[in-house]
Amino acid sequence: MIVFDLACACGYWFEGWFHDRADYERQERAGLLQCPACGGNQVHKILSPVAFHGGGRHGAPPVSGDAPDTNRPQAEELRQAVEAFGRALKRYVEKNFEDVGPRFAETALKIHYGVDEARNIRGVASEAEEEMLRKEGVEFISIPLPRDSEGD
């Protein structure tokens, strides 16, 4: 997975999660990127305000005499923090959202049109189903959650 910072012509900034860079480019070319604030599709990638590299100057090995940067988190600490956040997010979603599995699109439509009770749901949907939900005006967010492992 890859995350890009995106901005809409309306001025709204948000994150987009994609399988890889090619997935982002395919969706951008097809006009599938949609602003969650205004629903517009004039969305483009912007430079991320966060960057991380583990080497010295411009990724090169440190030059003799360079003082270590003690303010920059080490790669392992950063990985552990991201994993801890992912586990906490997963626990929150599992606790507060009903799992409707592959019936996500169907259930979301029923809730949207008042056929089913309003509630938080989670599940899976194909790209085609997600596009259909967007066209119907159903608000949702795709969040990749970490896989189950021991202790989760």
Query: Is a pLDDT exceeding 70 seen at residue 55?
Result: no
Query: Is a pLDDT exceeding 80 seen at residue 76?
Result: no
Q: Which domain holds residue 37?
A: 1-47
Greater confidence, 13 or 60? Answer: 13
Query: Is a pLDDT exceeding 50 seen at residue 52?
Result: no
Is 57 contained in some domain?
Answer: no
Mark whether 150 and 83 lie in a shared domain: yes
Residue 83 is predicted with a pLDDT of 81
Query: pTM above 0.85?
Result: no
Angstrom CA distances, 42 to 3, 20, 45, 145, stand at 18, 21, 10, 28
The mean pLDDT of 58-68, rounded to a whole number, is 48
Mark whether 21 and 89 lie in a shared domain: no
Is 112 contained in some domain?
Answer: yes
Percent of the chain with pLDDT over 70: 78
> Phi and psi at residue 76, in whole multiples of 5°?
-65, -40
Is 60 contained in some domain?
Answer: no
